[in-house]
Structure 1
Amino acid sequence: MAMHDPSLTHARYALAVTLLALLVIVLGAYVRLSDAGLGCPDWPGCYGNLIAPTSEPQISSANSAYPGRPVEVHKAWKEMAHRYLAGALGLAILFLALLSLGRGKPTGYPRLLPWLLVLLVTLQAALGMWTVTLLVKPAIVTSHLLGGFITAALLWILTLRLYGPAMNSYVIHRPGRLLLFSRIGLVILLLQITLGGWTSTNYAAIGCSEFPTCHSGLWWPGMDFTQAFTLWHGTGINYEYGILGAEARTAIHLVHRLGALITALYLLPLAVLLYRTGRAAITQRLAWAIGLLLMLQLGLGIANVLGHLPLPVAVAHNGVAALLLLALLTLNWQLKRAYRIE
């Protein structure tokens, strides 16, 4: 295909925006896991400024304006870096939407999806504001995290649709059955990602200190499921470092651990079935990608427990979850194309 083909140019741009969205997810995880989510106590600025305060006069003025939240420069810069990058993503998505109105757009350029992304990134901005103003409330932070994953997922779908005309269709045996299985797998993974967000935002990632047992050699210690899954505890509460007791955090952690087991027991056989059924190299590569990403994700989860949540491992756990989601979306998209031409 010629280099000047508008469909290829638009597809490459959509791919670049998708990579930017993945970077925002990873940086957001880093900010949250390094306890910098309230590095700036206001929004959209930082202590009333567009940049984090660094000089002694700026810090002194900020501390006077926010006496309950003294400046921690390193945390403030982490938070602002995430906001700058998220702002750049929002502008990039808006440009994608404007391309859908232009005369130079390729034939079949999606119209609804880019504007849906604009609405979603606007909601993400609001959730980012509420994350700060509601003092990292778990329900808000989890929604913000899930919104980031959905943004990356929709951008990837747009990328696949734009690359579609340049990609071959592959023969897959009984794609309808595989498509149903892969869609169920996608739902299971999204639920597990949501559980992971709830685990992280409630500071329950090490709610169990051992693996495969939980505490003191126990598989099923005392737990408080009522408090663990209470979505709303009221306003005016600072949720930084968590407010739940040990038994509630253990309950969240074990549910997430069980969710990981269910996800693995579903996706690994799906990958094997895909590998055996697919008649093209692309399906076998997808099977390998899903299987390897899943095993890597399980290993990172175990390392988080045994290493007491080392920051690089915890951040990677978020990033690999996003890649696994994109791999499953690619599988669903490819199977849907095969089903249509069967």
Structure 2
Amino acid sequence: MAGSVIKTKIFNSVEITSVPKWIRLLVWKMMIATLLLMAIGSATRVMNAGLACPDWPLCYGQLVPGAQMNLQVFLEWFHRLDAALIGLSAIALMGITWWYQRQLPPWLPWAATGAFALILFQGLLGGLTVTEMLRFDIVTAHLATALLFFCTLVIMVSLLTPYQGTNASSNLAWLSGTAAILIYLQSLLGALVASRWALHQCLGNSELCQVMNSHILGVVPPTVAILTLTFKAWQTPGLHPVLRNLANLASSLVILQIALGVATFRLHLQVEPLTVAHQTVGATLLGILVAFTVLAIRDQANNCAKLENWCKE
């Protein structure tokens, strides 16, 4: 019974709707800004602008570079600026939630603190990518942390959004959660391929083909999981329209992602917007699956609140 009590407290609709609208709006804006930040980071990489600013945290020793400004410098500088603004927002969110903690769900200040810790670590990794000359393991860790931060914000948004489930999600949460983990791992493989230029190495020198092929074959498990999730969502009567729409969107995005991946591969990464879109769609797909998982768990939590004698610890 303790498990159902905890779930009911975390997903209590009254507590969630009592959160001021401006706090919810701040988390929403941070989530969208983070998705855009990852897209800008991808553009910075494919445009070979990762070291356009040779120093860190300034750029050519200035807050705003002057005569040195060109497209590559602008991308790297703007990437840092966006990251700094998100970092300041994370500090503000953490401070606000602790200041108003008595009026907020008890999990919210801790979640905000966790988000701040992730963005702080992300900033350190960002600095190391420059000082260590784009070392592939640091670049991969940089994206891995960014995705975790993004997922944290998606979870917070999904918990703060008023939602009254239909108690029909059954066991869909574990399936969407598994798909989210698989997409996350596939994204890390993609980051490894990009940071080591595995496609060029494989096609040019027959090196790192194992890394490249792992990413290609790695698309199968998450695709199967997502299509299964969508099929089961179609077959679940009474499923909340939001969950049904998220499942449909996930299937559409995974098909688009595969198409972008094939195009990127065939064009040998020569069309930069395709590469940027490939990473951005992947991050969006991850966010959709995380949101589905949280809402499906909330659906089950509502069921537990109504049928406590059916819920076990």
CA deviations 1:274-314 (Å, max 9, x no partner) are 22125232222111111001101011101101222210010
Determine which of 221, 235, 240 is the counterpart of 1:262: 221
Following superposition, the deviation at residue 48 of structure 1 comes to 2.0
Q: Does 1:96 align with 2:83?
A: no
- Say if 1:6 and 1:105, in contact at 8 Å, map to a contact too: no
Against the structure 1 CA distance between its residues 291 and 208, is the aligned structure 2 distance closer, same or farther, given a 3 Å change threshold? Answer: farther
* Residue type of the alignment partner of 2:29: A
Determine which of 136, 161, 168 is the counterpart of 2:164: 168
Q: Which residue of 2 aligns with 1:194?
A: 188
Determine which of 240, 253, 272 is the counterpart of 1:311: 272
Number of residue pairs the alignment of both structures matches: 285
Query: TM-score, normalised on structure 2?
Result: 0.85
- C-alpha distance in 1 between matches for 2:262 and 2:37: 25
Q: Give the structure with higher Rg (CA).
A: 1
* Residue type of the alignment partner of 1:306: R
| 1:1-342 aligned within 5 A | 6-54=19-67, 73-103=70-100, 106-108=103-105, 110-163=108-161, 166-173=162-169, 175=170, 177-205=171-199, 246-277=205-236, 279=238, 280-309=240-269, 310-342=271-303
Q: Superposition RMSD on alpha carbons, in Å?
A: 2.1
Following superposition, the deviation at residue 206 of structure 1 comes to 5.0
CA deviations 1:94-148 (Å, max 9, x no partner) are 1111111223874316111101111111111110110001100000001101111
- Answer 1 or 2: higher relative contact order, Cα 8 Å, separation at least 6: 2
Q: Which residue of 1 aligns with 2:307?
A: none
* Residue type of the alignment partner of 2:177: R
Following superposition, the deviation at residue 324 of structure 1 comes to 0.4
- C-alpha distance in 2 between matches for 1:266 and 1:248: 31
- C-alpha distance in 2 between matches for 1:132 and 1:185: 33
- Say if 1:18 and 1:155, in contact at 8 Å, map to a contact too: yes
Against the structure 1 CA distance between its residues 102 and 73, is the aligned structure 2 distance closer, same or farther, given a 3 Å change threshold? Answer: same
Following superposition, the deviation at residue 265 of structure 1 comes to 2.0
* Residue type of the alignment partner of 2:83: A
* Residue type of the alignment partner of 2:165: S
Secondary structure of 1:111's counterpart equals helix
* Residue type of the alignment partner of 1:146: A
CA deviations 1:295-340 (Å, max 9, x no partner) are 0101110110122221001001111111101110111111111222
* Residue type of the alignment partner of 1:101: W
- Say if 1:300 and 1:316, in contact at 8 Å, map to a contact too: yes
* Residue type of the alignment partner of 1:269: T
- C-alpha distance in 1 between matches for 2:272 and 2:237: 38
